[in-house]
Structure 1
Amino acid sequence: MADPKPESQAESQPGPEAALQAPSSETPSARPAPQRRDPGSASAAPLTPGLIKAEILCVLALSLGAAAVSAAISFLGAVTAPGGLAQQSASLVDPQAAAEWPWLDLSRQVYSLVFAFAPVALVLYLLRRSHQSARTIGFDLRRPGHDLLTGPGLAALIGCGGLAVYVVSWQLGMTVTVRPSTLEEHWWQLPVLILQAVKNGVLEEVIVVGYLMLRLDQLGWSPVRAAVASSVLRAFYHLYQGVGMFFGNLVMGLVFCWFYRRYGRVMPLVIAHSVIDIVAFAGAVYLIGEVSWLPGG
């Protein structure tokens, strides 16, 4: 402990030399340092189970959870309509303007595509807020060779099986006639359909597999329980297509969840889903009406 300053030093006032050296009564070193706030201190609250559940509900309410509710309502309307499911139809990509205004249709198609990625941007932001990132769920370009090989392989496996389920269930009256596209023939028709397919792949796999599985893990759910929840959600937002496609997408979801657990990457699933939808949308343009066994001809 420092000794107190003796009173005899009271007369030692700063002289002219000291005054020249210290023109102000308070030296810079004596001034209190400004208080600096940690920019991350306000957002450092831990992710509690309650916050995780609320976050999941908000994300799904803004994206595929709302789609599941809409699909269930559409399904109820289809099964109660005269003629049964096989007499009903569902279109995935429709014109958004009259045929004589193709520029307006294109503008609205691009608008809907751009803002359809908003829930994905929200998910990536929420991951960053919780000190994670797109790399946490494997939504990145670290392994392009692996992703470009396994993605199309998964697409072939799921796509062939899904087509068989669709055709058989349609013949049994368990599925509506799905028309992937009813767009008019314009130069931008195929590019828009390809972008729609990529949008579906990114939106569904990032949210329903990568994000949801990660958050359910953090809630302490078992891998099987989380995979079932993810797959059931996927099946429900495809329910508007009928009972057969509900179960087909349920199986697809289980396979995709297993793959994600095995490799920890969502990017191959995005590629696989995009390839499946590109083939389906292109098939709507070039095959429906030309192939006799394909519904919708």
Structure 2
Amino acid sequence: MKPPAAAPNATPLEALGMVALCFGWFIAGSLWSVSAGFRSGTISDASLIGLVGFEIFVGPIALLILRSRGHAMRDLLPSPSWRGCGVGALLYVACVVASAVALSPFAADAAQPIDRMMETARPSLAVVVTLAVVNGLYEEVFLLGYLQRCFRHQGASFALGLSLLVRVLYHLYQGPHGALSVAVAGLVFGVFYLRTGWLWPVVFAHMLADAIPFL
């Protein structure tokens, strides 16, 4: 595997538009949650189905726009493989360990918003699996396959930092611990993709991260 090539026709205005289309609603909701004292609602089948529906609707539109801009689908979309699933499982374990280390100094802190949300969450297995597949694919295709790869020519640190910033912004509703955990996972994912250009293990690791906490 080699680092992904820079995306064609990737202007800052295009990137801003894609971030607004794919993640703008989530960022706005996350910032509202923070300003309202982390009033994020509950996790239910209805809320998760709503998220899946949004991503299934917006994802193809975003891909069509990128295709019209000269981005090849083979560079944006992952190629599933059993080997990639195995690597993705190891990547997920690495994220869990890294997050545990990063959060260890704050173990005695009060319960976080994400903890309270998970305590009352009772989604069905079918909805959880559907969410994990759709959301894992959606986020990593547009965060890494597009945004990080798009700005690789500006330097690895800039590309990695930009994708991390967007990722953390729409997870702020989870509270400080949740945002830190997301940042650590995003760093692991981003560095792996920078070094290998292999997207499927990251997508699979994200799917596991979305599904396992509910099981």
Q: CA separation in 1, counterparts of 2:188 and 2:212?
A: 20
Aligned to 1:125: 64
Amino acid at match of 2:89: P
Q: Residue 167 and residue 65 in structure 1: after superposition, are their counterparts in 2 closer, same or farther (change >3 A)?
A: farther
Per-residue Cα deviation, 1:125-176 (whole angstroms, up to 9, x for no partner): 23422443232145123xx133111111111121344366668747413732
Aligned to 2:109: 172
Question: Which of 67, 71, 82 does residue 145 from structure 1 map onto?
Answer: 82
1:211 Cα deviation after fit: 0.7
Q: How do 1:1-297 and structure 2 match up within 5 A? A: 47=9, 52-78=11-37, 91=42, 93-96=43-46, 110=49, 112-137=51-76, 139-141=78-80, 144-162=81-99, 169=106, 171-173=108-110, 175-176=112-113, 177-180=115-118, 182-183=121-122, 189-217=124-152, 220-282=153-215
Q: CA separation in 2, counterparts of 1:245 and 1:224?
A: 23
1:259 Cα deviation after fit: 0.7
Q: Which has the larger radius of gyration?
A: 1
**Structure holding more helix per residue:** 2
CA contact (8 A) 2:171 2:178 kept: yes
CA contact (8 A) 1:175 1:244 kept: yes
Aligned to 1:22: none
1:182 Cα deviation after fit: 2.9
- Percent identity over the alignment? 25
Q: CA separation in 2, counterparts of 1:53 and 1:215?
A: 9
Q: Whose relative contact order is higher, 1 or 2, with alpha carbons under 8 Å and at least 6 apart?
A: 2
Aligned to 1:35: none
After superposition, the CA RMSD in angstroms is: 2.9
CA contact (8 A) 1:165 1:244 kept: no
Per-residue Cα deviation, 1:82-126 (whole angstroms, up to 9, x for no partner): xxxxxx7763x3243xxxxxxxxxxx8656524422332233323
Amino acid at match of 2:17: C
CA contact (8 A) 2:149 2:159 kept: no
Amino acid at match of 2:33: S
SS of residue matched to 1:251: helix
CA contact (8 A) 1:59 1:119 kept: no
Q: Residue 147 and residue 138 in structure 1: after superposition, are their counterparts in 2 closer, same or farther (change >3 A)?
A: farther
How many residues get paired? Answer: 206
SS of residue matched to 2:117: strand
CA contact (8 A) 1:165 1:245 kept: no
Q: Residue 134 and residue 208 in structure 1: after superposition, are their counterparts in 2 closer, same or farther (change >3 A)?
A: same
CA contact (8 A) 2:49 2:131 kept: no
TM-score relative to the length of structure 2: 0.80
